Amino acid sequence: MDRKALTKTLNKIFGWGVLCVLIAGALSFLGFLAALVIGGESGQELAAYIHRRYFPVVIRVSSLMIGIGLAAMYAGKERALSLDTGQKPAEED
């Protein structure tokens, strides 16, 4: 597999993964909102479940997607995290 195909595949996986993680974040917000509306012990149990069981999975998947995105950047030889912009400084008058 050549470098361009690998970069394209990794970017596609990264894009879909980020979309899934964003949806998972929205679902956790809605879960906490539902727990707030429900209130009482049931709401507390729902919020505790989201915090203890759901968040660790979402954080692990997010970290995996970040790794895939970085791998795609390095495979494509992109310099997005570099301070060097490749531009020459403007000449002084």
Q: What is the DSSP letter of 52?
A: I
Taking the C-alpha atoms of residue 72 and residue 15, their distance in angstroms, rounded to an integer, is 11
Q: What is the pLDDT of residues 11-56, one digit of tens each?
A: 999 999 999 999 999 999 999 999 999 999 999 999 999 999 999 9
What local confidence, expressed as pLDDT, does residue 8 receive?
Answer: 92
What local confidence, expressed as pLDDT, does residue 93 receive?
Answer: 52
Q: What is the pLDDT of residues 52-69, one digit of tens each?
A: 999 999 999 999 999 999
Half-sphere exposure of 71 (CA within 13 A, CB side): 14
What local confidence, expressed as pLDDT, does residue 87 receive?
Answer: 66
Residue 35 CB: number of other CB atoms within 10 A? 20
What is the band of 3 on the pLDDT scale with cuts at 50, 70, 90?
A: confident
3-state helix, strand, coil in the chain (%, to 5): 75, 0, 25
